[in-house]
Amino acid sequence: MIRIPKPWQLKENQTTPERLYLNRRHIIGGLGLTAGLAAGAALAKTKPQSTRKALVFKKSGYTIADPLTPENLVTSYNNFYEFGTDKSDPAKYAHSLITDPWTITVEGEAAKTGKFAIEDLIRQDELEERIYRLRCVEGWSMVIPWVGVPLRKILARFEPNSKAKYVQLVTKFEPSQMRGTRWPVLDWPYVEGLRMDEAMHDLTFLATGLYGRELPNQNGAPLRLVVPWKYGFKSIKSIVKIKFLKRQPTTSWEKSAPREYGFYSNVNPNVDHPRWSQSTERVIGGGSFTSLFNRRETEVFNGYGDAVAELYRGMDLKRNY
Per residue in 17-29, pLDDT (tens digit) is 333 223 333 333 3
* C-alpha dihedral (258, 34, 223, 249), degrees to nearest 10: 0
Domain membership flag for residue 123? yes
Q: What are phi and psi of 252, to 5 degrees?
A: -60, -50
CB 223 within 8 A of CB 208: yes
Q: How far apart are CA 153 and CA 120, in angstroms?
A: 13
Burial 44-73 (b: 16+ CB within 10 A, else e): beebeeeebeebebeeebbbbebebbbbbb
pLDDT at 292: 52
Is 3 domain-assigned?
no
Domain-located, residue 320:
no
SS3 105: strand
Q: What angle do CA 140, 303, 321 make, to 5 degrees?
A: 70
Give pLDDT, residue 285: 85
For residue 266, what is the domain's CATH number? 3.90.420.10
Contact between residue 143 and residue 66 where contact means Cβ atoms under 8 Å apart: yes
By residue range, what is the domain housing residue 224?
12-312
| 103 phi and psi angles, rounded to 5 deg | -125, 155
Please count the structural domains in the chain: 1
Q: Which one-letter DSSP state was computed for residue 160?
A: B
Percentage, residues of the chain above pLDDT 90: 81
Residue 298 has a pLDDT of: 97
Residue 162, domain member (yes or no): yes
DSSP character at residue 152: H
User: In this structure, is residue 37 part of a structural domain?
Assistant: yes
Residues counted in the chain: 321
Backbone region of residue 147 per phi and psi (left: phi > 0; alpha: psi in -120 to 50; beta: other values): beta
Please check whether residue 229 lies inside any domain of the structure. Answer: yes
Residue 6 reports pLDDT greater than 60: no
Determine the Cα–Cα distance for residues 264 and 275; give it in Å rounded to an integer. Answer: 19
pTM: 0.85
Q: Which pLDDT band holds residue 51 (cuts at 50, 70, 90)?
A: confident
Question: What pLDDT, in 10s, does the model give residues 124-146?
Answer: 999 999 999 999 999 999 999 99
Q: Beta partners for 209? A: 147, 214
The tens digit of pLDDT for each residue in 171-200 reads 999 999 999 999 999 999 999 999 999 999
The overall average pLDDT reported for the chain is: 87
3-class DSSP state of 60: coil
1 inside domain: no
Residue 2 lies in a domain: no
